[in-house]
Amino acid sequence: MNDGEHLIVGTGRNQYQLWLPDPPREGEPLAAVVPQDKTALHRAEAAMHFWRFTRGHAKPAAALRDVRLVNTLRALDGHLSGASYRVIAECLFGSARVDAEPWKSSSVRDATIRLVRNGVALMRGGYRKFLRK
């Protein structure tokens, strides 16, 4: 099953993960689809950062880190409430994205597990690294 193209564009802190369901035609502009869910604001900000990047403007690294931290804390809350990784993934990424791949080999599953692990590490004292800056 072909689910489109998955690309990583940029280097270092200016890396963007793109999913293109259909290959774009040369000269046609790309469009960003932002689902109107709990993450809409963060997704819209990420789309704007990418747009600025394509225009040669640097994105602030803190904004992407903030989105990651919010998702980490949301994943931790779900974990502490007893939710399964799949339920947490559906809350963070949406049911359609979770259902798009076989769960056991899903990149969304891996990302969810990583977010929960990072959240647990923060809870166990890792948050102190933020206080040092």
Residue 3's closest CA among 90, 102, 104? Answer: 102
Distance CA 62, CA 22 (A): 31
Q: Is the pLDDT of residue 101 over 60?
A: yes
Element (H, E) at 19: strand 14-20
Per-residue CA distances from 102 to 20, 26, 86, 88, 130 (Å): 19, 32, 11, 16, 36
Quick: pLDDT tens for 26-56: 888 888 888 888 788 888 888 888 888 888 8
For residues 114 and 108, give the distance between their C-alpha atoms in angstroms, rounded to a whole number: 10
How does pLDDT run across 50-63, given as a tens digit for each residue?
888 888 876 555 66
Inter-residue contact 92 to 64 (CB < 8 Å): no
Query: Is this model's pTM higher than 0.75 or not?
Result: no
Nearest CA among 84, 48, 38 for reference residue 16: 48
